[in-house]
Amino acid sequence: MKPKKLKKRIQQLEKRLREGTQRLARLRRRLHESESAKALKAARKSAARATALTGKKYPGQTAKTKKPTSAKKAKRKLNLSPERRAQLAAAMKARWAAKRAAEGNSTTSSDQNSPMLPTQLPENRADGA
């Protein structure tokens, strides 16, 4: 029975308290149980969410064993069609290849191990410094 319906019945019974004190007590008890069950369910849900965010792998894991991380949002699973997923994968691969090529060009020209002669020779000073 839903809490709203129980509250309504309680109000009706409170009007005629003399007739059904036991019935009123039983309905109040049922209302209290349903509200506590609802609160317990919400607490379990939030605990499950927190556990999913921290990345707990098994229940025996303690706070000492997990790494201190900042709170991260859980990744959403995108509802993509296979064609769109393939299209995005191709675009990302092209982007990564371009990035690697750009990094490759910049590192080869300024490589520290390349056998290049310095453009200016160090001058010998008279004071020895």
Distance CA 81, CA 93 (A): 18
pLDDT of 86 above 90: yes
Amino acid at 125: R
pLDDT of 106 above 80: no
- Is the CB of residue 54 less than 8 Å from the CB of residue 70? no
Two structure tokens written together for 107: 């590192």
pLDDT digits (tens, 9 = 90+) for 13-47: 887 776 667 778 888 999 999 999 999 998 888 88
CA 34 to chain centre: 30
pLDDT band at 1 (very low <50, low <70, confident <90, very high): confident
Two structure tokens written together for 118: 């310095």
Is the pTM higher than 0.95?
Answer: no
At residue 91, the 3 state secondary structure works out as: helix
Residue 32: CB atoms within 10 A of its CB come to 12
